[in-house]
Amino acid sequence: MTEPAKPGAAAPTAPLKKYARQGKSNATIYDIARAAGVNPSTVSRALSKPGRVSAKTQKLIEDAAAELNYHVNPFARALPTGRTSTLGLIVADITNPTFFDIIRGAETTATAGDYTLMLAESAESAATELTAARRMLATVDGLILASPRMSDDEIRDLARDKPVAVINREVRGVRCVVPDVNKGIGEAVRSLAANGHHKVVYIAGPLPSWMSARRWDGVRSACEWSHLDAVRIESSKPTVEGGREAAREVLASGATAVLSYNDLLAIGLMQELQAAGIEVPDQISIVGFDDIFGADFTTPPLTTVRSPLGECGSRAAAMLLDTLHGSAPEVAETLRVETELVVRGSSGRLINGT
């Protein structure tokens, strides 16, 4: 129909003839209106505003719609209303299994609420993240930021345009879902103290990571409480590789127990220590964070402070849905979810006690 017809069309703009406007399934409300003998706007109301149309007409229209195999055109709807029935999710790194569960949780509740999830990655860069966020913001009804790297102000700025939910970080004025690390860390540190450890080292994550800072805070204060020494070292990157690289410094620190920013670091560290002939947990105890997929594949399986990441994703999506449905509290409150220690084999009693 809308075909160029002219064969002289240029190359760069060419394509798609094969798929252009297939006959089927593109019935419009006008077709329905004609079939049902009513006005298009009546069709529109019947299909989206329950109760605005008499039961009889309603039925007539619904039947016609079913007959014609009608589906709304999302763009036509989005244009005047701005509603898209789509939620966006931006994660720092799709490779990082920490986000697996978040994605899954968000996708599940989005779908359950008849929304679709759009996914983008920021490659751990604040600039890329902001670009992706801005781009998405145009096409989604709400945006979830998982462990965002951009500044608080930038986040608040985004939140001024569309509902935004943040995971793994607390930003004033924006709805957040944050695992409350204290319980889990408390359990971990008490367990280490009970097993004869006196000095704990924390392997930090990326500097801009809000969560890494919270975890270090938590470790420090829990250690103080339990009369343990706590020192902190930095990592180059929050990956298995980064964990390997941290091994030397860990040994140099003289600590007998390690808490690391995440499980990936913990796993890398454990691999490297074991390769160097060090027994885990007999000589060094290792505790990770998050309980990611695969944390129990290691030998010994990794002890870790579990964050309910799937729940975080799901809650964040639910927050957006609530906001979009108008049933959300006025003030942006932070939702805290519990963390807990999952004791596996990588932590335990110190054998070669100091």
Residue numbers at the binding site for DNA (CB under 7 A): 2, 4, 26-30, 38-42, 44-45, 47-49, 51-57, 70, 72-73, 76-77, 79-81
Which one, 24 or 227, has the nearer CB to its own copies? 24
Applying CB under 8 A, does 293 fall inside the site for its own copies?
yes
**Count of residues in contact with its own copies, rule CB under 8 A:** 59
Tokens read off for 288: 């990770």
Cα 201 from Cα 85, distance rounded (Å): 46
Which one, 79 or 331, has the nearer CB to DNA? 79
Q: Which stretch binds its own copies (CB under 8 A): 59-67, 143-151, 225-233, 290-298?
A: 290-298
Chain length of the chain: 354
DSSP class per residue in 170-200: --TTSEEEEEEHHHHHHHHHHHHHHTT--EE
Applying CB under 8 A, does 20 fall inside the site for its own copies?
yes
Applying CB under 8 A, does 139 fall inside the site for its own copies?
yes
Query: Of these partners, its own copies, DNA, none, which one is at the site of residue 181 (CB under 5 to 8 Å by kind)?
Result: none
Cα 143 from Cα 91, distance rounded (Å): 11
Query: Of these partners, its own copies, DNA, none, which one is at the site of residue 117 (CB under 5 to 8 Å by kind)?
Result: its own copies
Cα 243 from Cα 261, distance rounded (Å): 10
CA-based nearest residue to 232, from 208, 195, 207, 210: 207
Query: Of these partners, DNA, its own copies, none, which one is at the site of residue 19 (CB under 5 to 8 Å by kind)?
Result: its own copies
H or E element that contains 229: strand 229-233
Applying CB under 8 A, does 343 fall inside the site for its own copies?
no
Applying CB under 8 A, does 90 fall inside the site for its own copies?
no
Please enumerate in sequence order all residues whose Cβ is within 8 A of that of 48, keeping only pairs 6 or more positions apart, or say none.
Answer: none
Query: Of these partners, its own copies, DNA, none, which one is at the site of residue 298 (CB under 5 to 8 Å by kind)?
Result: its own copies
Among positions 4, 41, 67, 71, the unique one binding its own copies when judged by CB under 8 A: 71
Min separation Cβ 337 and its own copies, Å: 19
Min separation Cβ 317 and its own copies, Å: 13
Q: How far is CA 165 from CA 103, 144, 237, in A?
A: 14, 5, 25
Q: Which stretch binds its own copies (CB under 8 A): 199-207, 211-219, 220-228, 320-328?
A: 320-328
DSSP class per residue in 254-297: T-SEEEESSHHHHHHHHHHHHHTT--TTTT-EEEEES--TTTTT
Residue 82's SS3 state is: coil
Applying CB under 8 A, does 352 fall inside the site for its own copies?
no
Tokens read off for 239: 């990956």
CA 57 to chain centre: 44
Query: Of these partners, DNA, its own copies, none, which one is at the site of residue 53 (CB under 5 to 8 Å by kind)?
Result: DNA
Which one, 42 or 98, has the nearer CB to its own copies? 98
Cα 67 from Cα 50, distance rounded (Å): 20
Q: Which stretch binds its own copies (CB under 8 A): 12-20, 167-175, 212-220, 252-260?
A: 12-20
Tokens read off for 302: 């990794």
Which one, 23 or 277, has the nearer CB to DNA? 23
Cα 209 from Cα 221, distance rounded (Å): 19
Residue 107's SS3 state is: helix
Q: Which stretch binds its own copies (CB under 8 A): 82-90, 146-154, 178-186, 246-254?
A: 82-90
Which one, 83 or 248, has the nearer CB to DNA? 83
Contacting positions for its own copies (CB under 8 A): 11-16, 19-22, 24-25, 49-50, 71, 73-76, 78-79, 82, 84, 86, 94-95, 97, 100, 103-104, 107-108, 111, 116-121, 132, 135-136, 138-139, 160-163, 267, 293-294, 297-299, 323-327
